[in-house]
Copies of this chain bind each other. A is one copy, B any other.
């Protein structure tokens, strides 16, 4: 999984794993992903209704291209923004889930 910078689903990982471990079960995939996520070794991201898993442990955000479906890592939510949230709304931010939907640079003519 670390060999890719994609954001695979449990099902994708399951199918990849089957290449080397033909009789692995989907439950094992979910259990291990949950464990890794709980330990902070990977991140779980909610992409609409389904879960994706992210090896990029640094806090970051995503751009989702509605043309090609790519999910691109970006850094947008920074300490400045955290301070604004704190000052303006008196809200102590622990975590941020931000996905920007639009069109990536591959499709600009």
A-side interface residues, number (CB < 8 Å): 33
Q: How far is the CA of A84 from the CA of B105 in the complex (A)?
A: 14
Residues of the B chain whose Cβ atoms lie less than 8 Å from the Cβ of A72? 89, 91
Tally of this chain's copies: 2
Nearest B residue to A48, CB-CB: B46
Residues of the B chain whose Cβ atoms lie less than 8 Å from the Cβ of A63? 85, 89, 91, 93
* Majority-rule SS of A interface residues: strand
The answer to whether B102 touches A99 (Cβ under 8 A) is no
The answer to whether A91 touches B100 (Cβ under 8 A) is yes
The interface centre, meaning the residue of A97, A100, A101 with most chain B CB atoms within 10 A of its CB, is A100
A residues with CB within 8 A of B: 46, 48-49, 51, 63, 65-66, 72, 74, 76-77, 81, 84-85, 88-105, 108
